[in-house]
């Protein structure tokens, strides 16, 4: 298995969810056990020695690998969800995304100052979702934040929206 095989396992769906968007469907990569395992192992290798205590997964596709990474890193898992999904007191952050506006929420007791956090999502596009999530995590005054993506769409330059103090790493680039 190599990165080119992983890249080729991602399905491209033109004009979804609206004309002009080329949606990267990760489900075709995740349904292949060899590809899925390779992705998880490669990301784990990158972060295994950094003392990660919590993995924050962004709804919803960030939950898939986020949970696996939390297990492999012996860390807790924290979901960042869309409005109305979390039952306890929460912080909220609104943001602009590729094709509209949205809001994300996190429980107010999800993180502590000593946490070293890896934020994971499946894809970095324009950077709105990750920037909002970083803003939420900053509210806790955590020790360190890292951001990770399975895929980065380089041409959209979403990395430019990310706080420069947050190291970012993506497994594959389109």
What one-character-per-residue DSSP string does 69-106 give? Answer: HHHHTT-EEEEEB-TT---S-EEEEEEEETTEEEEEEE
pLDDT of residue 101: 85
Is residue 105 a part of any domain in this protein? yes
Structure tokens at 70: 């939390």
pLDDT of residue 159: 97
pLDDT 10s digits, 62-73: 999 999 999 999
Spatial CB neighbours of 87, under 8 Å, sequence gap ≥ 6 = none
Q: What is the mean pLDDT of the chain?
A: 96
Is residue 101 a part of any domain in this protein? yes
Average pLDDT for 50-78? 98
Is residue 43 a part of any domain in this protein? no
Structural domain that includes position 58: 49-173
Question: With left for phi above 0 and alpha for psi between -120 and 50, is residue 100 left, alpha or beta?
Answer: left
Is residue 100 a part of any domain in this protein? yes
Catalytic residues: 61, 98
pLDDT of residue 17: 85
pLDDT of residue 120: 98
pLDDT of residue 21: 87
Is residue 6 a part of any domain in this protein? no
What is the maximum alpha-carbon separation in the chain? 44
Is residue 34 a part of any domain in this protein? no
pLDDT at 97 over 90: no
Average pLDDT for 34-51? 98
Is residue 12 a part of any domain in this protein? no
pLDDT at 127 over 70: yes
pLDDT of residue 121: 98
pLDDT at 52 over 80: yes
Query: How many domains would you assign to the chain?
Result: 1
- Identify the CATH number of the domain in which residue 88 sits: 3.40.50.2020
Average pLDDT for 120-148? 97
Is residue 53 a part of any domain in this protein? yes
pLDDT of residue 99: 63
């Amino acid at each position: 298995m190599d990165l080119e095989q992983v890249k080729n396992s991602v399905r491209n769906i033109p004009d979804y969810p609206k004309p002009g968007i080329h949606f990267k469907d990760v489900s075709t990569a995740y349904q292949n056990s060899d590809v899925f395992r390779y992705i998880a192992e490669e990301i784990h290798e990158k972060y295994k020695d950094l003392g990660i205590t919590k993995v924050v997964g962004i709804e919803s596709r960030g939950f898939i690998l986020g949970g696996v990474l939390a297990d492999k890193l012996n860390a807790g898992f924290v979901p960042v969800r869309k409005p109305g999904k979390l039952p306890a007191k929460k912080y909220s952050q609104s943001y602009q995304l590729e094709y509209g506006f949205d809001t994300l929420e996190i429980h107010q007791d999800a993180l502590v100052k000593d946490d070293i956090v890896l934020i994971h999502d499946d894809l970095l596009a324009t950077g709105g979702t990750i920037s909002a999530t970083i803003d939420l995590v900053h509210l806790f005054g955590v020790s360190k934040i890292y951001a990770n993506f399975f895929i980065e769409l380089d041409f959209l330059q979403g990395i430019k929206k990310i706080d420069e103090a947050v190291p970012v790493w993506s497994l594959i680039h389109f």
